[in-house]
Amino acid sequence: MQSAPAASATPSRPAPQDCEQVALSYRTLLPPGWSISCQDALPPEWVAAVGGRDGVAMSRLSERKIVLVRGRPRLAAAAQHELAHAHASTWPPQLRVAFARAIGQSAWQTRSEFTAPSEIFAESSVACAGLPADPRYPLVPCDLIEATRSAAGTSQAQYTR
């Protein structure tokens, strides 16, 4: 897969280590009904649900919530990644499948932590927002990210700080 090009302009962002400030800055970008908060650790039941993998942040559709972990690196990038998951959860299933097919896969969710279309979309969204992407994820061009968002009736401006 191709790498997402860097965004042409880097919007101002809060200091990455200030969790409450990051959460506050992303709160207005959340889909209706979603929340974002900071905790000292991810909820244990969330970590257990993903096979015990800890992280900087996590979103949970059933609770419509994003949790950021205080003191972790890359908080703004993690918030952007989870924001992409939150927005994608509001799309019709056929749009998520269309994105998956556009990158050569048949399903939005797979068991692969880094190469599932849902994860590629989320981390490519990070790069397209001008934030440092995690190199473990393959990235797709920002044009594909924007086209998918446009098909959902939204734009990059609604997803970035």
pLDDT in tens, 40-57: 999 999 888 877 888 899
Residue with the larger pLDDT of the pair 99 and 9: 99
0.95 surpassed by pTM: no
Whether 43 maps to a domain, the answer reads yes
Whether 2 maps to a domain, the answer reads no
Whether 111 maps to a domain, the answer reads yes
Does residue 21 sit in helix, strand or coil? helix
**Closest Cα to residue 78, out of 29, 19, 33, 7?**
19
Specify the pLDDT at position 156.
56
Domain that holds residue 134: 19-158
Structure tokens that stand for 161 in this block: 């700080």
Does residue 69 sit in helix, strand or coil? strand
User: What Rg, from alpha-carbon coordinates, does the chain have?
Assistant: 15
Whether 71 maps to a domain, the answer reads yes
Whether 31 maps to a domain, the answer reads yes
Whether 66 maps to a domain, the answer reads yes
Specify the pLDDT at position 113.
84
Q: Count up the domains in the chain and report the number.
A: 1
Whether 59 maps to a domain, the answer reads yes
Rounded to an integer, what distance in angstroms lies between the CA atom of residue 30 and that of residue 66?
9
Specify the pLDDT at position 51.
78
Q: Which helix (H) or strand (E) holds 66?
A: strand 65-69
Whether 112 maps to a domain, the answer reads yes
Does residue 142 sit in helix, strand or coil? helix
Report residue 3's pLDDT band, with 50, 70 and 90 as the boundaries.
low
